[in-house]
Structures are given as C-alpha cells and as structure tokens.
Amino acid sequence: MWHHWRPERYANVGLAADRETSGAPRDGGAIALFSGGLDSVYTLYRRRQGLVGPRARNVAAALMVLGFDIPLEDLDQFPAAAAASRRMTESLGVPLWTMHTNFRALTRQWEDAHGTALAACLHLFAGRHGLGVIAASTFWKPLNAPWGSNPDDRPDARQRSHGDRPRQPARCSAISSRRW
C-alpha cells in the first residue's frame, strides 16, 4: 500500500518467518492512546460502556504522550492537559499514564510515520497489556492519500468500523451529556 501511495519513497519488501505464534493474550486488558480530543474520548467512552461488540477487549489503562499532539517544546502546557485528560479517564474507571518522546523530531514525514510512533509507544506496555487501542481519526473508506494510521493499514480496524462509524456530531452528542 505505501509503495502504491509513495513509490518514490517506499519499496515493496518481502517478509518471511520460520514459524508463526499466536501469543496468549495478557489478562491486563487493553491500553488506549488518549489525547483528550474527541476521537480518543469517544473511543474510550464506547469501550468502557460496552458499546463496541463482544470481541472488544476492555480498556484498563490510557496513555497520553507528550511530543505528539502537544510538542515537546510546550512542556509547560502538558500538566494541565494531562490533568484534564486524567479527570476524563478516571471518571470512566481508567488510570491515565503519561510519557514523552522525541520521535516526531526525528522524522521529516510525520504524516507517514505517526502510526509507527503510536504503535511503538503502546508496545512499551506489551508485557502488561496484550492489546493497544488507537482511536480512528478518519471514517473508514479507502483513502487515496497516505496517512500513517489509517484503517487500510489495519485490517482489524477496517472490519470493526466498516461503514457504521458515527459522524462527528453523533460522537459529540454521545459524550456531551456525561459529567467529566
């Protein structure tokens, strides 16, 4: 897919493994990235309310990352944003963890690379949480433009959100009546 979108930058590569394993899921629940924005709030709310279907794993922790939505240079703004996010996550019974990274400063192509950065942060918690949750930032549809965390890169997300994802006003309405 990336070779199709940006052939001047990416080449097809072959992958091979001597064996495949299906690691046993950890019983620590899922960990969800949480920015405090509409998409992450809505994702956490739906999962904690049991509105995503029987296959969904419960979110047991949320992670907010300084260096993504809030640049590292804005360190003085992060504590207030984290406190507001913590109020939201804890009102749903989910602790908020925070971390910081300079990943964004290391790449010139943030639009391409941010999905990798999100997954890398979640992977740090793989020993405790067997699943990482990244809120959808677009509606599912075949995208004709590259975006580092789109559903076309993630068959699991494509299957779960195909066509039934509420639009912005419906997401706002679903969470607006909650007292955070």
Is 1 part of a structural domain of the chain? no
Q: Please count the residues of the chain.
A: 180
Task: Determine the pLDDT at residue 157.
Answer: 46
Cα of 30 vs its chain's centroid, Å:
11
Is 132 part of a structural domain of the chain? yes
Collect all residues with Cβ–Cβ distance below 8 Å to 101 and sequence separation of at least 6: 65, 66, 67, 68, 117, 121
Mean pLDDT of 132-144: 67
Task: Determine the pLDDT at residue 55.
Answer: 63
Percent of the chain scoring above 70 in pLDDT: 75
Predicted confidence band at 3 (pLDDT cuts at 50, 70, 90)?
Answer: confident
Cα separation of 91 and 28, whole Å? Answer: 19
Largest Cα separation within the chain, whole Å, is 52
Contact present, 62 and 31 (Cβ < 8 Å): yes
Residue 32's nearest CA partner among 116, 71, 89 is 89
Q: Is the pLDDT of residue 143 over 80?
A: no
Is 121 part of a structural domain of the chain? yes
Domains: count for the chain: 1
Mean pLDDT of 17-32: 79
CATH number at residue 42: 3.40.50
Is 20 part of a structural domain of the chain? no
Q: Is the pLDDT of residue 164 over 50?
A: no
Angle, helices 78-91/38-48, rounded to nearest 10 degrees: 20
Burial environment of residue 18 by CB neighbours within 10 A (0 to 12, 13 to 18, 19 or more)? exposed
Is 8 part of a structural domain of the chain? no
Structural domain that includes position 82: 25-176
Percent of the chain scoring above 90 in pLDDT: 39
What's the whole-number average pLDDT of the chain? 81
